[in-house]
Amino acid sequence: MLSIKKIQIYGFGKHENVTLSIHDGVTIFYGMNEAGKTTIQQFIIQMLFGFPTRQQTQQKYEPKTSTKFGGQLTISHPIYGECTIERVRGKAAGDVTVYCEDGTKGHDELLAKLLYGYSRASFEAVFAFSIHELQGIEKMSEEELTHLLLASGTTGVQQLSVIEKKLEKDAGELFKKSGKLPQINQKIEQIKQLEKKIKQEQAAINTFEEKSLKLQQLGQRLDELNGQQEVIQKDWQQLTVLKQAMPLMEKQQTLKYTLKNYAQSHFPAEGIRRYEQLKDRLTHETLQVSKLNEQYQVLQKKLQQTVNEQSIDEMARLLHREASWNQLLAKEQKLGDELFLLEQNIEAQFRLLGIQEKSSQQALLEETVSLQQEEEYQQQLVALIDAEEELKFHLRTLEQTHEELEAIAGQKKQYAQDALTADEEHILAKWPQQQKKLEQLRQMRSQRSKQKQPVLLIFVALVMSLLAAVYGVSQKNIAVLVIGVAMTILLILFLKNVKSAEETPNENNARVLRDLEQQENIVHILLSKKQRLEDQQLLTNERQQEKERKYAKLEHKIQQLEQVIGEAVQLLQRFLQRFKVDGTIAKPLLPELFMRIRSAQELATKKTSTVKLLKEVQTRKKELYEQLQQVLGESYSEQEIFMHLRSTYLAAQQDLQTMSQTKEQLATLLQQVQESQPLITNYEDEIEQLFKVANVQEEVAYYEAFAEFEQHQQLIAELQTVKSQLASLDTLHVSVPISKDQLDVKTKTIEEARGELQQQVDACLEQRASLQMQKEQLLNDEKYGELLQQFEQEKAILQQLIEQWAVQKALATAIHKSLFQLREEKLPHVLAQVIMIFKTLTGGRYEKLSITEEGFFEARAITGLRYHVAELSQATKEQAYIALRMALAQTLATTAPFPFIMDDPFVHFDRNRTNKMVQLMKEVGCNRQILYFTCHEAMLEFWQKEQIVDLEALAKERGVTST
């Protein structure tokens, strides 16, 4: 047989640098979801048959974290010996190299020989299947399920079936008897539509003269309507002018009335500008005089001040010490910042350690922390973490077991609901007595069949008597005639008595017998149901007992682990109390405990030295600050005191130089004040004159008079504008006055008339345009000839499509006959072996799997009842599917000795049939390698440890990273 010895993955999906050794027989690949089971399964198939191309739907499994893609597969071949198949990234399906045991090296051609010419589809059709294929069986119709089982039991059916379906589909796309979408159906419909259009075009050609006459009449009607529109348009224009002029005339009357009420009709020329200029100049001169007076008072005060020369000398001496002062300030700030940061860091360390009391903090700073103590603490911590991780694992397992027990309880409840009713139990209890009666009636029926033989002899004698009577009449033999008539009468009387004696009891017995036989069928069904329920309940009770034992063991283990964890926590708490650490600390922070204590002690030492330096700097700064305050005589901040000292020193020096200049400035200021006084008087007189012209006494009234004067001027301008607009509208010829309401009514009437006329004109124009276009189309239209040409072209295309449809139907019929012949030749050899496998998998419940005359699979139970395969349960359908695969593989043992690759196909099997399947796998594994991929832990109980490959453990050892 051909078997896989070793798997070496360079990079494939989530696996990288993985090597697996595989033994002959059965190998179980176990792992939870996303452990990489399907990845390894696809690796084996793609190493043998190539990576999927872009046109194929299969996943390529290129690694996301590695540039390496591919690997090696070492196989044992019955002809070529041990060979290594290497496939890496390259052309579409990858670059493949085959290394044989004798040193021979080849590529795709040699690999095809190793695989006996099988393609991936042929291989997967027989030797590789998964739960995904089996889950789809439940939704298949009987015809689809039969086709799937045929494909599983015969090689070559799948490919021909695909071709047959494609040809049937293509033929259906060309023609269907009652379809609308196929091409031939559409083409026939198009030809019918073309025939209708040709008839319509012929009818349209005959309407040319009628359209010409109607166009002439529409032209005359349009001339009449245009004349009416011109008259109405003139009336509408006159009304529009009146409507525009009416608001202007109303506004003109209003403006004239308003102008009569205005009294302020005169104002000084440029009065506001002149007033504001005078006011600004007066204000400016007044402010100048005020400032000059203030300066005069300030200068007088300066003359009264004196300067202390001894104080100036002391200020100069202290100014030379400014650099020292700035150094002291900077040093004090730096030391203060350092001290603040140290205190913050120390507090942070104590908060992380959970120590708040000052006494405990001081005791911790004085405690000695050695490396031996830290190592002892780390050992206790690791022991605690290991115990907690083990406790979490057992708790998860306990929860999972509890859920399984609840599911089993639900199943038992369902079984109780499905149990036989009291009426059904009563039927079974009464059946033994009725069965005896049924057997008696059957014996009586057999006896009656034996008693019918003498009656038949009597009938024969009666016929012979009749023949004798006829013979006597024909031969005129009186003796023969008398004997024949006498015998006939005696036999008729005898038969009549026998029939009357047996007729009544026979009818009653037949009716009772039919009732009992119907009841026998019901009893067989009830017994089968009762047996099935008892089997299910027995299996469920065994699973429940097993899970309960497991649950009790887990509870005991959890109690032990909780006790161990409690003791470890107490040891850690006592250890922490030695360092004044109370409460609990998060485990991620426990390894940093000693580092935090050492850090706190170092920060405390640094803080002591920083405090000492800060006190020395503050003492020196205080002495210098007291000297500065004494010289200045006032209190200033430390940052500004030298700035005030410098400004005071400079001011004192300037005072000595400016005392002589101050007297000269006083004389100049007095002269400027005397010169400004006449200007102020002149400005006040001019403002008084403006108020007099405007006939007001104060500034507010002056501005109000100006506003009233501006409004008067604006009304005059508006009145002139209205007069100009009325003159431009030419309303002088309107002699009859008309009100606004009358104007609106008349305008509305004319607009309605205009609208009606315009609708009539538009309708005539639209009708004329349509007729004109139809006339031109009739003159220039070549559509009739084009339609005739298109009609002939469509007929030619229809003929071609019909020929294509005939060819495809002929090919499909030929393939169907080939499929029937293939099934008749190969399937009987497979079914001969399927029967034993199917009977084993179903625990003897079904004794045969065959094909009916209609072409459907049928299973026969041990009770003699026959079931179509679609009537079976999901698990039994899967068992039939697997049995056909196994049987087909046995018939191909010499031509295709490939291993089986199965991905968890037994999840719907109960425990009994799972045991049967495992036994079958072990038997098949003696002659053929089986690779079984599963995520169910229960399957591991059936196999030896060396047969199991744990993918999760492999991931931890190899460092597999998830993609």
- State pLDDT tens for residues 839-897: 888 888 888 877 776 667 788 888 888 888 778 887 887 888 788 778 777 777 777 88
What CA–CA distance (Å, rounded) separates 642 from 950? Answer: 83
Compute the CA torsion angle 673, 678, 682, 683 (nearest 10 deg).
0
pLDDT of residue 654: 75
Long-range own/partner contacts, residues 178-187 (CB < 8 A, 24 or more apart): 183/801, 184/798, 184/801, 184/802, 184/805, 187/794, 187/797, 187/798, 187/801
3-state helix, strand, coil in the chain (%, to 5): 75, 10, 20
The strands making up 26-30's β-sheet, listed across from edge to edge, are 128-130, 900-903, 930-934, 26-30, 948-950
Q: Is the pLDDT score of 145 beyond 50? A: no
Most confident of 98-102, 463-467, 658-662, 816-820: 98-102
Question: Which tokens go with 266?
Answer: 């005169």
Give the per-residue pLDDT at 97: 93
pLDDT digit string (tens) for 132-143?
Answer: 665 554 454 545
What percentage of residues in the chain have a pLDDT greater than 90?
5
* C-alpha span between 343 and 349 (Å, rounded): 10
Cα–Cα dist 572/582, whole Å: 11
Question: Per-residue pLDDT averaged across 82-86, rounded?
Answer: 93
Tell me the CA distances in angstroms from 126 to 148, 174, 576, one per residue in order.
12, 35, 67
Number of helices followed by number of strands (H, E) in the chain: 23, 14
> Across residues 270-289, what is the average pLDDT?
79
d(CA 389, CA 394): 9
Q: Which of 26-30, 763-767, 812-816 has the highest mean pLDDT?
A: 26-30
> What's the whole-number mean pLDDT along residues 17-31?
89
pLDDT of residue 99: 92
Residue of 898, 918, 929, 903 lying closest to 37 (CA atoms): 903
Q: Greater confidence, 534 or 962?
A: 534
How far, in Å, CA of 505 to CA of 498, rounded?
Answer: 12
Q: The tokens of 777 are what?
A: 């189309």
Q: How far is the C-alpha of 242 from the C-alpha of 458, rounded, in Å?
A: 135
In the predicted structure, residue 2 carries a pLDDT above the cut 60: yes
Q: Using the 8-state DSSP alphabet, how is residue 841 labeled?
A: H
**Is the pLDDT reported for residue 4 higher than 90?**
yes
Average pLDDT over residues 64-79: 88
Q: What is the mean pLDDT of residues 775-780?
A: 64
Dihedral of CA 403/405/406/408: which sign?
positive
The pTM score is 0.37
Least confident of 155-164, 624-633, 947-956: 155-164
Residue 656, pLDDT score: 65
Question: Nearest-CA neighbor of 58 among 115, 109, 138, 128?
Answer: 128
Residue 709 to residues 110, 269, 712, 723: CA-CA distances in angstroms? 117, 11, 5, 22
Percent of the chain predicted with pLDDT > 70: 76
SS (H, E, C) 683-724: HHHHHHHHHHHCCCCCHHHHHHHHHHHHHHHHHHHHHHHHHH
Measured over the CA atoms of residue 907, residue 832, residue 27 and residue 116, the dihedral's sign is negative
Burial class (CB in 10 A: 0-12, 13-18, 19+), 146: buried
Q: Report the distance separating Cα 595 and Cα 597, nearest Å.
A: 6
CA separation (Å) from 352 to 416, 424, 574, 780? 61, 75, 18, 100
Could you tell me which residue, 962 or 733, shows the higher pLDDT?
Answer: 733
Strand partners, 87: 71, 96
- What CA–CA distance (Å, rounded) separates 641 from 315? 12
Give the whole-angstrom CA distance, residue 889 versus residue 168.
Answer: 31
Top-confidence residue, 149 or 231: 231
**Predicted local confidence at residue 83, as pLDDT:** 93
CA separation for the pair 201, 105 (Å, rounded): 78
pLDDT: which is higher, 396 or 264: 396
Average pLDDT of the chain to the nearest whole number = 76
Supply the pLDDT for residue 370: 60
What is the rounded CA–CA span in Å between residue 601 and residue 353? 13
Report how far Cα 791 is from the mean position of its chain's Cα atoms.
52
For residues 659-683, give the mean pLDDT.
76
Statement: residue 645 has pLDDT above 80? no
Task: Tell me the β-bridge partners of 903.
Answer: 130, 933
Using CA atoms, how far residue 926 sits from 153, 823, 932, in Å, is 22, 29, 15
Sheet holding 81-88, edge to edge: 15-21, 3-12, 70-77, 81-88, 95-99, 105-106
Q: What is the mean pLDDT of residues 480-506?
A: 67
Which residue would you say has higher pLDDT here, 263 or 282?
Answer: 282
Nearest to 506 by CA among 452, 562, 436: 452
Per mean pLDDT, which range of 140-144, 434-438, 672-676, 849-853 is the poorest?
140-144
Q: Give pLDDT, residue 319.
A: 79
Residues 6+ positions from 58 with CB-CB distance below 8 Å = 42, 52
Burial category of 639 from C-beta neighbours within 10 Å (exposed 0-12, middle 13-18, buried 19 and up): exposed
End-to-end CA gap in the chain: 36
For the cut 80, the answer to whether the pLDDT of residue 396 exceeds it is yes
- The model's confidence at residue 584, banded by pLDDT at 50, 70 and 90, is low
For 303, 321, 696, 840, the CA distances from 312, given in Å and listed in that order, are 19, 15, 64, 124
Q: Which tens digit of pLDDT belongs to each residue from 109-124?
A: 988 888 888 888 778 8
